[in-house]
Each structure stands twice: as C-alpha cells, then as structure tokens.
Structure 1
Amino acid sequence: MLYKIWMSIVKEFLLLKRDLGGLIILFIMPLVLVITVTLIQDSTFKTVSDSKIPILLVDNDKGSVSKTVFENLEKSNLFSVVTRIDNKTISEDVARENVFKGKFQLAIIIPEKLSSDLQAKVDQNVEKIVSNLGFADSTAASEPQRIIKEKEVKLYFDPAVQMSFKNAVMSSIDKMISQIETKSIYTTFEKQLGEGSTNFEQKSFISFKEIIPKINNKEIRPNSVQHNVPAWTLFAIFFIVIPLSINIVKEKSQGTFVRLRTNPVSNLVVIIGKTITYSVICMIQFYMMVAVAVFLFPSIGLPSLNIEGHLALMSVVALFSGFAAIGFGILLGTIASTQEQSAPFGATSVIILAAIGGIWVPVFAMPKIMQIIAKSSPMNWGLDAFYDVLLRNVSFLEIIPKISLLFLFFILTTAIALFYDKKKRAV
C-alpha cells in the first residue's frame, strides 16, 4: 500500500516536471503579487506625512476663521494647501475645473464674511443668554437683531476619489469648524462677563484612546504585511486548482488513468498520491512567501513579518488550506471533460472564492447578504485562521474549528469526486 502511494507521488512529480515553466510561474507569480500589493497598500497602514495630498483652498473670507482653517490644514500632516496656480489667486471656478479634471483631489471654498457673520451670530446668542440672566442692558437687548444667514463651506471632490476619503475629510473639517465656533462662544462670554472674570479651558474634555493588545509588553499593531501575506498566500495556494485539475483531465484524455485502473491500484491511492504531492507544493509556496516577507520586505522599505512564536500554527493553517484547495481541484478535474473546461472554470472560481472570502475587500465592509455568503468560502476560513494566529495570538485549540472546516471541505469534495467517478464508470 505504501509502495503504491509512493509510486503515485513519483508519477505526480514526473507530470509536474514536464511543465516546468508552469510550475515556476506557480511559485513566482504569488511572490510578485504579494510584493506588489503590499507595496501599494503599505501607505494605508502608515501615516501619510511623507506623501501629503495637495488640496486647493479658496479664501473668500480673509478673516480669522479662514486663517485658522488654513493653519489647521497645514498642521494636519495630511494635506499641503495650494492657494495659487501659476502665481494667480485661485477662484472657485478655477478650483472646480481643476478638481473635476482630476488634477487635484479636493478643493475647499470658504465663503465671504464667514468670520464676521459667525462672530455676529455668536454675539446675538450670547446677548440673549446674558439678557435672560439679567446681566445685560435692557435697551440694548430690545433692539431688533439683523438676520444672519447660515454659511456653507463648499467641498469639491475629484469624482474618482473613494467615499471613505470623502467621509474622512468632511468629518475632519466639520470638527475643525466646530472647534472654531466653540472658541468664539467662549471668547464672547468672556467679553460680556468682563475681561479676566473667567478662564475657559479650550482643551476638549472628552477624548478617544485606542487600547492596543500587548504581548510581552509589546504593542501589537497590524500592518500591511500581516494582512497581505496571509491573504495572497491563500490565493496562491488555491491557484494550484488549475494545474491539478488540468493534470487529472490529461490523465483521462491520454488514457493514463485507464492504464492505472487496469493495475491493482485503487482510485483512493491515486488521490492520496495527488494530495501528498500538491500539499508539498502548497507548503513550498507558503514558506517562500514567508521568507520573502521576513527577509526581503525590510530591504524594500516594508515592515518585516513577525513570525516569532507563530510559524508552527501558521504552517498548520497553510497545510489545511492546501487540503481544501486540493479537494476542490480533484473535484473539478474529475467533473471536467476537457482542459478548456477545467482551466477557465478553475481560475474564475478561485477568483470568486477570493472575492467573497475577504481577500480583496474586508468582509465587514461588504453588504449583509455578502457577509453571510462569505462564511461559505474556504478562503474566508483560512484567512480568519491566519489572522487569529498572527494578530489575535490564539492557541491551537482556538483555530481547530476553522481548520476542521477546511479539512471537512477537502473530505467532502474528494468524496463527491470519488462518487462521481464511480457512477460515471458504472454507466
């Protein structure tokens, strides 16, 4: 039995050796992919102080409010403020045209008399309060107040920018304007009650503090590497579905499988041989990805993947993810009649599993219905297990449910393949 399995493994490696170019692509493609994607996404996990976003600011106010907005934007380390183009002061029309053509991502238009009208409105409100308390002159309070219309700070966004960027900018500016209004109210109260009679603290009373988990008194901060290496490792592992299914189809079309069946070799032995062979390939892929993340990434300006104390559990997750991919490949190769069926369907199905599994878009950001569907993707189980090990520092017992699902997927798809093959040969 063991000899038959060994010879089946040798046979699989000989088949793979015939397509050496395809095998090299199978290893090189994931490495190029993980390096490229991680480089692109790395800036989203870090501060962008090294790459400020240029934005246009049109100041029609020329007052204290616009000056404060300008200073706060400059201090934010997020934006570089542009107020002139070709040595000419920017108008609203020029700003709108430049943003809508994609030359700038954002333009902020500060309306006329914003500072003076804001102060006038605050004065009116404070006078009402002070008058009701009996501190103000009754004749002054009875004078008719002029109507002050609300002011709008216009924001022009490049139509191509993401909604998350828009929401972040609008929230930041709204907070900035609120702080300016609050400061104006405090200052007006001080004037009404007499200079030096009170001392308002300008610092926010309520603040937010992120509590970051620690291991050995070291903070665990997720970075682009910890997110991308597991995701694209899974993507690479599942891409073995294509060569595996193609080889099975080749065996059927070339008569190899029939010759194997005429020998005293069960279909189960053949599948065990394929499983062991492709499991080795999956683990080689995994360790190559880890080696690149640990040794190459620091030399190209990316964070190194911290695998201290995690490698053993990560290997377990990679192995069981490989089992799931192999089971899917065996099923596809058994059902497909031609390579033209297996290759496109294999590639498309892997991309679909990756899309719904959270490889490209986080599951929590998906619509509710897609979040439910995502739970059915083996890539989602594997990705969650990798995150549990790398980011949540869980034990082996805590990943058993997820790797059990992956192994059950392998057993189920392999069983269906065996049943389908038996029925087909019985006809």
Structure 2
Amino acid sequence: MLLYKLWRSFVKEILLLKRDIGGIVIIFVMPLLLIITITLIQDSTFKNLEGSKIPIIFIDNDKSEVSKNIKQELESSKTFELLTNFTEKSAQDAVFGGDYQMAIVIPKNLTKDINSNIDSKVQTIVSSFGLETDSSAVKKTVSKAKDIHLYFDPATNIGFKNNVMNAVNKMVFEIENKKIYKAFQDQLGTTENLEENKNLISFKEITPKKGNMDVMPNSVQHNVPAWALFAIFFIVVPLSINLVKEKSQGTSVRARISPTPYFIHILGKTFTYLIICVIQFLLMVAVGIYLFPYMDLPQFDVTGKMLQLIVVTLFSGLAAIGFGVLLGTVADTQEQSAPFGATSVVVLAAVGGIWVPVFLMPEFMQTIAKFSPMNWGLNAYYDIILRNSGIGGIAKEITFLFLFYIAMVVISLFYERKQNAV
C-alpha cells in the first residue's frame, strides 16, 4: 500500500514538472549551455592551441646578441605572436588603451653594456687572486644597469603579469650566466665547451600514468563534474517553487489530512528529482564524450568510472533535494523561494570551488568551503576522475552529503509540524 502511495506521489511530481516549462528549461537546457560556454572559454584561455597565440609588441632597440636571444626564446615558446612595427610611445598607447596585452622594449646598447660590466667585474675578481690582467681594464667604468621596459594592459590578470616577468627574468639571468662563464674562460684561458655547462638541478614533473601514457588533467575533466554539480543543485529552484505552489493551492493541506504519511510525499519528491539529477549528469557526460571532440576540446573519459560517478551523483542529488525541500517548506511565496534559491546555489557554487579553485581563496574562505555540500560533491568527483579513487576513497564525502539530506528533511518535517500544530 505504501509503495502504491509512493508511486502516486511520484506521478504527481512528474505532472507538476510537465506543466512547468520554464523549470524544465532551467533544469536541462541552461546547464548544457553553461558547460559548453565555460569549457570553451577556459580551454582557449589556458591551453596553447595552434593559431591562438597572444599578440604582444616587441621593440628591439639593441639589435644585438641579448635582444636576439630574448626574441628567439619568446618565439619558440609558442605562446606569443611578436609584433615589431611600433615605437615605444605608440606601443605604450596601444597597450594602455587595451589594444594589446603587453609590450616588451629592449633598451639600446643592452648587449654592449652587459659585456662591459661583466668583463670589468671578472677582471677585478681575477686580479684579486693575484693573476695577471690588464690594469687599465680593471679601472674601466662600470655602466649603469639597463632596464627592460614591460608595459601591461591595466586590465591584465596579475598572474599573467607575474608569469611573463618571471620568464623574462629567467631568460636574462641565463644569458648573463653564460656570458660570465665565457668571460672567466677568456681570462683563465680554459677551453671547456660552454654547451656542457648545464644546470646541476632541474625539475621533472611526475604525472599519473595509464599504461604507458601520461594522464594529464584538462579543462573538460574539471568542467564536466563541476557544472554537472551546479545543475544538480539548481533543481532547488523548481523544487522549492512546487512546494510553495502546493501550500498556496491547498494541496499540502489535503496531503496532511489524507491517510498517507507526509514523509511519503517527501520521498516521492526525492525519487522524482533523483531521476532528474541522474539524467542531468548523463546529459553532461554525453556532451563531454560526443560533442566536445567536434569542438576541438578533449574528450571526457569515463572508462571504468561510471558506476562511481553515478553514486556521487545520487548522493549529491540527495543533498540538493534536501536543501530544496527545506527552502520550499520555509518560504511562503514563490517570490521568496525562487530568487533566494537561485542566489543561494550561486553562493554555494562560489564557496564550494565551482567558480574559483578552493586553494586560491583566502584562508578563512577555505575553511568555510569545507562546509559546502557542493565542495563535498566536487571533491568526490575529482577523486574519481583525476585521482582514480574507488567507492572507499569517496566514502567520507558521500556520507556528508547523505547526512546533509537527512538534516534538511528532518528540519523541514519539524518546521511543517510546528507551523500546522493546532
């Protein structure tokens, strides 16, 4: 008998959704548009694709060894397209006006002055060891340090600025080191090959492997689970609106006086929206697998992970449903539930790491993120997709999501009973 009542409650929820075309659009269409748009933007921004180089202005007033080496390094990076038909004044105006991201201006006589300074300092050092050297050369005046001018668009991201400045500093440092080494060779009369003077310490990134292939995270692996989770939690809006409608139309009163326990109505909503959450996730995965490759994006790989991903989806859906039930129970009008539901989901997404990675947040925000159900779901997805975890590895996150659902429903039931107590 209870199963029949649960089935009728499920059918009622389906009928309510069929009448709400706007809710269906919010539930299914909007997340798909979001995931496609955001993934395209992020992939073209952070991935160095052929033909998508960043145009920057390069002005060479030195036209000698150092400036040529810097230019060669920038061109070989495959990140920048160098534009050279500018003066420093026109380059400054173009960059500060927002036409280009940055400009690099190499000063006159940079190579000559670097050579002069290095020769003078090396000769001074060699003479201090009592070795023979040209005394007139030791007294040579050291030239003033040269500045390479970097102009950035005021709207340029600070991370981009730091990366470019670090790259230029590294190039200049390596050039200076080679020149100093060569100057000592000349003074001491050694004949060691400069090419053999390599760094004693280097960095090697160790990445996860699948067979003999490196497993490298990409924009699709981050965006599909993140925006699937955002879509799942956005069911808060239509769910809370339907609950408010039931109160305003008297449906909830008939449900309370019927012989069917009120929790059956909650379970009916839970099963209905859990199915919707799974459909949402499968649509997101389908986009990642079948559509993204046609858009020059990486294919979303779920090989051997689909069962675990569905489990996370179910528990994330429970957390979203619990939150929607509480909001719909507390709100008195649709004008209260709809805006608050949409805003709260966006806030939870921001706090949970959907918009900005948690590690980039201030320390106190990182602490707050640990209490966001979206963060639990996102970490569980990432553990499966990026860290190859099994069900045991995500047990903590799915437990938190389930307890969140129980807490929200219990609070809703107590609030409903209190409001309708005679």
- Compute the TM-score of the two structures, normalised by the length of structure 1: 0.95
Q: What is the identity, as a one-letter code, of the residue corresponding to 1:95?
A: A
Query: Over residues 28-61 of structure 1, what are the superposed CA-to-partner deviations in whole Å (9 max), with x where a residue is unaligned?
Result: 1111111111111113453344311111122222
Distance in 2 (alpha carbons) for counterparts of 1:302 and 1:160: 27
Instruction: Please list every run of 5 or more consecutive structure 1 residues that lacks an aligned counterpart in the other structure.
Output: 85-89
1:184 corresponds to which letter in structure 2?
Answer: K
- The alignment-based identity, stated in percent, is 56
- Aligned residue number for residue 106 of structure 1: 102
- Alignment map for 1:348-359 (pairs within 5 Å): 348-359=343-354
- How far the C-alpha of 1:133 sits from its partner, in A, is 2.3
Structure 2 Cα separation of the partners of residues 183 and 139 of structure 1: 24
Where do residues 172-187 of structure 1 align in structure 2 (5 Å cutoff)?
A: 172-187=167-182
Tell me which of 124, 131, 147 is aligned to 1:128.
124
| 1:372-423 deviations in Å (ceiling 9; x for gaps) | 1111110000000000000100111110100000011100011111111111
The equivalences for 1:259-338 within 5 A come to 259-338=254-333
Secondary structure in structure 2 of the residue aligned to 1:426: coil
Counterpart residue number, 1:54: 55
2:191 maps to a residue whose letter is: S
Partner of 1:87: none
Partner amino acid, structure 2, of 1:83: T
Q: d(CA) in 1 for partners of 2:99 and 2:113?
A: 33
From 115, 118, 129, the counterpart of 1:119: 115
Distance 1:268 1:298 in 2: 45
Contact 1:279 1:323 in 2 (8 A): yes
Measured in 2, the distance between the counterparts of 1:421 and 1:151 equals 74
Tell me what 1:404 maps to.
399
Partner Cα distance (2:322, 2:107) in 1: 64
Structure 2 residue 145 is matched with structure 1 residue 150 = yes
Residues 45, 70 of structure 1: CA spacing in aligned structure 2 closer, same or farther, 3 A cutoff?
closer
Quote the Cα distance in structure 2 between the aligned partners of 1:307 and 1:326: 26
1:36, 1:404 → 2: CA distance? 32
Superposition pairs for residues 188-207 of structure 1, below 5 Å?
Answer: 188-194=183-189, 197-200=191-194, 201-207=196-202
Q: Which runs of 5+ in 2 are unaligned?
A: none
- Counterpart of 1:37 in structure 2 is 38
- Letter of the aligned partner of 1:127 in structure 2? Q
Q: Distance in 2 between matches of 1:405 and 1:296?
A: 33
Residue 327 of structure 1 deviates from its aligned partner by: 0.1
Residues 45 and 223 of structure 1 are in contact (CA less than 8 Å); yes or no, is this contact kept in structure 2?
A: no
CA distance in 2 between partners of 1:126 and 1:198 (Å): 17
Per-residue CA deviation, residues 141-162 of structure 1 (Å, 9 max, x unaligned), is: 6x53314212111110011111
Find the counterpart in structure 2 of residue 422 from structure 1. 417
Task: Tell me by how many angstroms 1:21 deviates.
Answer: 4.4
Q: After superposition, give the CA deviation of every residue in 1:72-117 in whole Å (9 maximum; x if it has no partner).
A: 2112211111110xxxxx2221111000011111111112221111
CA contact (8 A) 1:49 1:78 kept: no
Query: For residues 137 and 41 of structure 1, do their structure 2 counterparts lie closer, same or farther at Cα, with a shift above 3 Å needed?
Result: closer
Q: CA RMSD, aligned part only?
A: 1.5
